[in-house]
Amino acid sequence: MSGLRELLARFRLNELAIMIPLLVLVVGVWSFVEIAGEVVEGETQRFDHWAITIMRNPEDPSDPIGPPWLEEMGRDLTALGGVIVITLAIAAVCGFLLLENRQRTALFVLAASIGGLLLSTLLKEMFQRERPDLVPHLSNVYTHSFPSGHSMISAAVYLTMGALLARTVKDPATRIYCVAVAALVTGLVGLSRVYLGVHYPTDVLAGWAAGGSWAVICWLVAAYLQKRGAVEQPSDAVV
């Protein structure tokens, strides 16, 4: 009898572990579609303009609110979503996984990260939204505005790596830590883009939604591959 209860409990746990990511995926995709639709129709313009100008000195739009060190910190944080730093992070994580003899997981991290970068580029070319011109930019920009590439790539790469790293360890607290750190970095990168005047807040929100959705997809694929034995997994993996 106790064996049956244990089996049912494990089934419910496995089912929950799949349903929650699927729910997050649906919410993420729906959020991106809604934001994109509002942006295309011009419904977010008033909010976007307010959010950017509120972060600048009314008497000098080139001066962001806060002390000088806050502006410097914004530049440092935004660099965490740049191509060079992201590439170094991917290389570092893949190197760690290789040292841990998880070659197939390292390959999956690399493929998932490249996929996120390509998706961000594709979406930018689809919408081709112009950058904000309300205040001087405090960071150099070269591409279109929607969705925020830094925000989306940070979510896609950091959350994907955090989730996949969480699946390689056994301790639940360590798993939560991996995902929490990835989410924190992703959030700070997005906020820095608005603070520096190079993105509208809806660009950032859409980037988070799209990048987070990509991370969930990668997590689900990783779970499936781990069940199939195509990707390494810890001995006590939940799914």
Q: Is the pLDDT of residue 188 over 90?
A: yes
CB atoms within 10 A of CB 102: 20
Q: How far apart are CA 57 and CA 8, in angstroms?
A: 60
pLDDT confidence bin for 227, thresholds 50/70/90 = confident
Catalytic residues: 150, 199
Q: For residue 203, which of 132, 136, 137 has the smallest C-alpha distance?
A: 132
Predicted local confidence at residue 157, as pLDDT: 86
* pLDDT, average across residues 61-80: 89
Q: Is the pLDDT of residue 235 over 50?
A: no
Q: What is the DSSP string of 45-78?
A: HHHHHHHHHTTEETTEEEEESS-HHHHHHHHHHH
At 233, the amino acid letter reads Q
Of residues 114 and 161, more confidence is placed in 114
For residues 132, 136, 139, 142, the Cα torsion angle rounded to the nearest 10 degrees is 50
**Cis omega (within 30 of 0) on the bond before 147?**
yes
Mean pLDDT over each residue of the chain, to the nearest integer:
83
pLDDT confidence bin for 218, thresholds 50/70/90 = confident
Q: Is the pLDDT of residue 195 over 80?
A: yes
Domains and CATH numbers, the chain: 2-228 (1.20.144)
Between vectors from CA 157 to CA 106 and to CA 202, what angle results, nearest 5°? 170
How, if at all, do strands 56-57 and 60-64 pair?
antiparallel
Residue 158: DSSP 8-state: I
Q: Is the pLDDT of residue 12 over 70?
A: no
At 18, the amino acid letter reads I
Of 20-24, 51-55, 160-164, 232-236, the poorest mean pLDDT is in: 232-236
The pTM score is: 0.84
pLDDT confidence bin for 230, thresholds 50/70/90 = confident
Q: How far apart are CA 201 and CA 5, in angstroms?
A: 49
